[in-house]
Amino acid sequence: MHDNDNMEGKVKRSIVSIVLVTLVLVRRTGVQGASLNCEPGCRCTGIEIDCSNSDLDVVPDLKNIQGANIVDLSNNRIEELEDELPWMGIEQLQFLYFNTNSIYLVSDLAFDRLVNLEYLDLSSNYMELLPDTLFSSNPRLHTLILQGNLFQSNTPRIHSSSIRHLDLSFCKLSTFTVENIKNLPSLTTLNLQVNNLVYLQPEVFNQHPGISLSLSYNYWACNCSTVELYKWALDNQPRVIIDEKCNNKNNIHVNLFNRTREFLYKEKCDIDEDTFGTKPMKNLSLTRSPTNTTNSSVFLNDSDDDESSSSEDDEWLIDAWIIFVIIALVIILVAVALGVVLGVFVGRLLQTRDYRNYRRSSSPTFV
């Protein structure tokens, strides 16, 4: 009886060992199989499929990507994302990189099955339009990088309850309103640097009171609206970043404030001197348009803007002329001083020569 129990125990242990070895072999075979299914030029592991820099012009057929949560298709020549990605196991994907391609067309369903997607990089492409509901099926997406596309006046109106970080820098944006942000309730970081924005109402961000904004290097108009935007940015530092530049009628970036002149336009722009501390405003002839007094951020009319830029250009010409005159006077004074020194030196030489000649002529001659 005892021998039978020992035999039964050995059999059980053998069965368990066989099962464990089988599981290990299956797991290893599965990983190797995933690697063997890679497209030419791709590198595959159990968690990442790297097809970057592979000169692809279409999305590759990766078949089964079960086990991978990162797919990198950056630095290729892909132009279109017309249909939903056909890969098996795509539901578990978390990180997807399509940056630095030639993508100009994206279908509404392109990312429809990516229910666990958290990070998507579509930067440095040629997209001019994005479907509003493109990311509505990605409930875990928190970071979206759209930097370096060509949206211009077609600023995306993204619908997403999960996106927290959005990068729209270098997109040639000419407008940004509440319509572009009202369907992003979780947004905490927005990058709008290096665009073509001329005007932006601070009220756009009323529903996102804690948002971090990057607004530098745009084409803010030289008017009271920009002054008020700058005031709002100062009140919300350091989470709001903006530079002190505005764009005049000659399309030249100039300083909005000049610390060498008196604070002349605090009344005209309804800005008190304490707002900017010791920073005086530059002479821009800033005035409000009487036709838009109901709006808290008002543009200058065209004549005011021209007047502003003209006075500014005249000011630079006067400064340059003064500098030129000063330099010319210094050169003249130096030349006169050198002439005087040279004249004295030559005069002494002549006196010395005349004296020697006189001594020679007046000396007695011995025969």
Determine, yes or no, domain membership for 224: yes
Domain carrying residue 159: 32-260
As a whole number, mean pLDDT of residues 199-211 equals 93
Please check whether residue 106 is in contact with residue 130, taking contact to mean a CB–CB distance below 8 angstroms.
Answer: yes
Q: Which of 35-49, 73-87, 244-258 shows the highest mean pLDDT? A: 73-87
Q: Report the CATH number at residue 48.
A: 3.80.10.10
Determine, yes or no, domain membership for 134: yes
Please check whether residue 152 is in contact with residue 129, taking contact to mean a CB–CB distance below 8 angstroms.
Answer: no
Domain count, the chain: 1
pLDDT in tens, 84-128: 888 888 889 999 999 999 999 999 999 999 999 999 999 999 999
Determine, yes or no, domain membership for 301: no
Determine, yes or no, domain membership for 139: yes
Determine, yes or no, domain membership for 279: no
pLDDT in tens, 118-177: 999 999 999 999 999 999 999 999 999 999 999 999 999 999 999 999 999 999 999 999
Higher pLDDT: 336 or 277? It is 336
Determine, yes or no, domain membership for 96: yes
Determine, yes or no, domain membership for 132: yes
Residue 234 CA to residue 240 CA, distance in Å, equals 8
pLDDT bracket for residue 285 (50, 70, 90): very low
Residue 312 CA to residue 250 CA, distance in Å, equals 11
Determine, yes or no, domain membership for 17: no
What separation in angstroms does the CA of 353 have from each of 20, 190, 339, 359, 363? Answer: 118, 85, 21, 10, 16
The pLDDT of residue 35 is 41
Q: What is the pTM of this model?
A: 0.65
Strand arrangement, sheet containing 95-97: 43-44, 48-50, 70-72, 95-97, 119-121, 143-145, 165-167, 189-191, 212-214, 240-241
Return the structure tokens found at 73: 């298709």
Please check whether residue 72 is in contact with residue 48, taking contact to mean a CB–CB distance below 8 angstroms.
Answer: yes
Given a cut of 70, whether residue 356 has pLDDT beyond it is yes
pLDDT bracket for residue 224 (50, 70, 90): confident
Q: Considering the chain, what is the average pLDDT of its residues?
A: 77
Please check whether residue 190 is in contact with residue 215, taking contact to mean a CB–CB distance below 8 angstroms.
Answer: no
